[in-house]
Amino acid sequence: MAKVELKQPIVAAIAEDIKDAQSIVLVDYRGLTVAQDTELRKQLREAGVIYKVCKNTMMKRAFEGTEFAGLDEFLEGPSAIAISKDDATAPARIICNFAKEADKLELKAGVVEGTVYDVAGLTELAKIPSREVLLSRLLGSMQSPITNFARVIKQIAEQDGEAETATEAPAEEATEE
């Protein structure tokens, strides 16, 4: 069996993983301990991110003709790939946060929604909160005026109730005398 025939399924698997991806981040994982690598993989898996260590030539072949072809120049040395199909900023956010603890982990580059970013760009993207956090903030800001209006109405109603009981009490005292 020729070497090319052995490599084709690997290239096809990578191509399948990146087919509908919103973002891809390349990292240099050299120097990570097994425990650190396991923890990183766990965090990425929980966020729905695919994380693989692949040969650079295999990734180059899989990237050919896609929006991820711009990553070819960053494929030097050992590389791992983090692929997200749902949350475009998840791989960058998780890896940047993890790199704060594990200083050996280095970002190389990434593609987020068709745009190639270097390390500085990925670091800025990592600051963007997740989709769920952004939605909850939006709903909170939409709900805030309604909640404040309801509080004001309640306070007005309570004040009117106090005023009515205050006017009723002297009237009752006058009738008793």
Mean pLDDT, consecutive 10-residue stretches, the chain (177 aa), reads: 76 84 87 89 90 88 84 86 86 87 84 82 75 78 80 85 61 52
> What is the predicted pLDDT for the residue at 106?
85
Chain center to CA of 4? 37
Q: Kindly report the pTM of this predicted structure.
A: 0.68
Which stretches of 59-137 are assigned E, i.e. beta strand?
79-84, 106-112, 115-117
Angstrom distances, CA of residue 45 to CA of 38, 82, 121: 10, 10, 23
> What is the predicted pLDDT for the residue at 167?
59
DSSP, collapsed to helix, strand or coil, labels residue 132 as: helix
